[in-house]
Chain A
């Protein structure tokens, strides 16, 4: 049954904010490389091109690409996975050798969010992340990145295909336009459906990507926002890498505010 009750007495806004911040903020980190699958936290920021999905597509997990959304109208539309440029990650262990990730306490700072300083980690070698006393508590996910480091995205075949499309001038937006954050390096798991033209053979009019919670929940997007250059007002701003399809990007910061309150 849905929404036949007042949820505020059970889930007041401040508790919703706590939930979001617990998901978004690293409570523990290790300054040395310790690989522990349970105590490690990782967030994967996947970059996409094309039309930014609408909130209703995000809510229903049903993403539509029509002719002209990502590629020029004379070309067939793409599935969601084909629009991914690549990803970089945020981690809580000190594995600094990786070119595609930022680690809290090493080359990134985590601020703001509610960090449970009294909490204990599943692995005693992990330390509590101290909260910046001056930071705003309203940010569920708040990272600043080392200015001297750019990340190299981890890419797959879709990156090469998008580069080719960009080179031939058929990409509507020759740049990353939006991102999603999930708990997996894998692209979102979606069932693809092609909607064909009723009378022209082999002409795909739409591609629909349907992502459901039935499988691979770690690959589902939890946060979605826009990507742009510094000063663009986008949710994720890049000092480099915002103006073309490239695998080298340098994000300035990543701050996501929980809008529950």
Chain B
């Protein structure tokens, strides 16, 4: 079998304006099971290193087509020759794939959009160390009111235990850091105290890319770079193209 299923299937299967969901009556709760992560209430929980809950914030999840920009996944080969010219070292004889935004894989983004950007629900004083995103897959809780999540995360005094959630709530642990970090959850201040009025999420939303959806794609970048490396007129730099072409097309 050489059949391949594209990661974008998560987007087209769940997005309300695509054909699959167009067939379902989206207003009928019996169809909630047909969408797993699109338009579901979600809660971001931040704890300290010993699982004491420091912050909670509710919002909604959705799939997005915003393109991944990651140097870890971008193709290394991106300059290529587009025209015949006498000066092959001239940049004008080449084009950069970056200009077509086509150096990263096509992977749909899962976005968590908070109801409010300011974390008003500060629960305890401590140093933020862990972040969890909880998703209410059956859409029975509120995306705007944290009180409807009390059955999920327990009262403020108990330690947070992601392995002990209701069956319809799934979670993912996310990296957490300061605003200058490259973590998915970025806070303006990791030192949280109860008398603070606000702790701000550094971004308007949190975006996740699952790189191995529906397949193990982990060697794709190496494979694509090897494929492009075999083409004389592709290179990481203009000089590399010139050198490769001199070998492949001797004058």
Could you tell me which A residues sit within 8 Å of B by CB distance? 1-7, 9-12, 15-16, 18-20, 22-23, 26-28, 37-42, 52, 54-62, 64, 66, 92, 116, 118-122, 126, 140, 183, 191, 193-202, 205-206, 208, 210, 212-214, 217-218, 220-226, 235, 256-260
Closest B residue to A92 using CB positions: B23
Q: Are B214 and A55 in contact (CB under 8 A)?
A: no
B149 at the interface (CB under 8 A from A): no
Closest B residue to A233 using CB positions: B1
Give the residues in chain B near A58, CB-CB below 8 Å.
4, 6
Closest B residue to A52 using CB positions: B2
Say which size band chain B's interface belongs to: 35 or more
Q: Interface of chain B, helix or strand or loop or mixed?
A: loop
Give the residues in chain B near A224, CB-CB below 8 Å.
3-4, 6
Residue with the highest number of chain B CB atoms closer than 10 Å, among A22, A26, A217: A22
Can you report 20 residue pairs joining A to B where beta carbons are below 8 Å apart? A3-B212, A11-B210, A16-B10, A16-B213, A16-B214, A19-B10, A19-B13, A22-B13, A23-B13, A37-B22, A56-B220, A60-B102, A120-B24, A120-B31, A121-B23, A213-B65, A218-B12, A222-B8, A224-B3, A225-B3
Give the residues in chain B near A196, CB-CB below 8 Å.
81-84, 233
Kindly count the residue-residue contacts between A and B in the assembled complex, taking CB atoms under 8 Å apart.
262
Q: Are B175 and A4 in contact (CB under 8 A)?
A: yes
B80 at the interface (CB under 8 A from A): yes
Q: Are A118 and B30 in contact (CB under 8 A)?
A: yes
Bound complex: CA A15 to CA B88 (Å): 52
B205 at the interface (CB under 8 A from A): no
Could you tell me which B residues sit within 8 Å of A by CB distance? 1-14, 18-20, 22-26, 28, 30-31, 33-34, 36-37, 65, 67-68, 70, 72-73, 75, 80-84, 88, 95, 97, 100-102, 104-108, 133, 135, 162, 170-175, 182-184, 207-215, 217, 220-221, 223-224, 227, 231-234, 245, 249, 251
B138 to chain A, nearest CB (A): 13
Give the residues in chain A near B19, CB-CB below 8 Å.
40-42, 183, 218
Bound complex: CA A28 to CA B67 (Å): 33
B26 to chain A, nearest CB (A): 8
Bound complex: CA A191 to CA B67 (Å): 16
Bound complex: CA A258 to CA B81 (Å): 39
A223 to chain B, nearest CB (A): 6
The 3 closest A-B pairs by CB, nearest first: A10-B172, A225-B3, A23-B13
Given A7-B172, A16-B214, A38-B22, the answer on whether A120 and B84 have CB atoms closer than 8 Å is: no
**A-B contacts besides A59-B220, A206-B231, A235-B2, 17 pairs, CB < 8 Å:** A1-B175, A12-B170, A16-B10, A20-B5, A26-B23, A52-B2, A56-B223, A56-B224, A62-B102, A62-B224, A118-B30, A121-B25, A126-B23, A213-B8, A217-B11, A225-B1, A257-B1
Given A55-B217, A196-B84, A212-B102, the answer on whether A120 and B210 have CB atoms closer than 8 Å is: no
Give the residues in chain B near A140, CB-CB below 8 Å.
5
A189 to chain B, nearest CB (A): 13
Give the residues in chain B near A61, CB-CB below 8 Å.
102, 105-106
Given A1-B207, A55-B220, A183-B19, the answer on whether A193 and B95 have CB atoms closer than 8 Å is: yes
Q: Are B2 and A10 in contact (CB under 8 A)?
A: no
Give the residues in chain A near B33, CB-CB below 8 Å.
116, 119
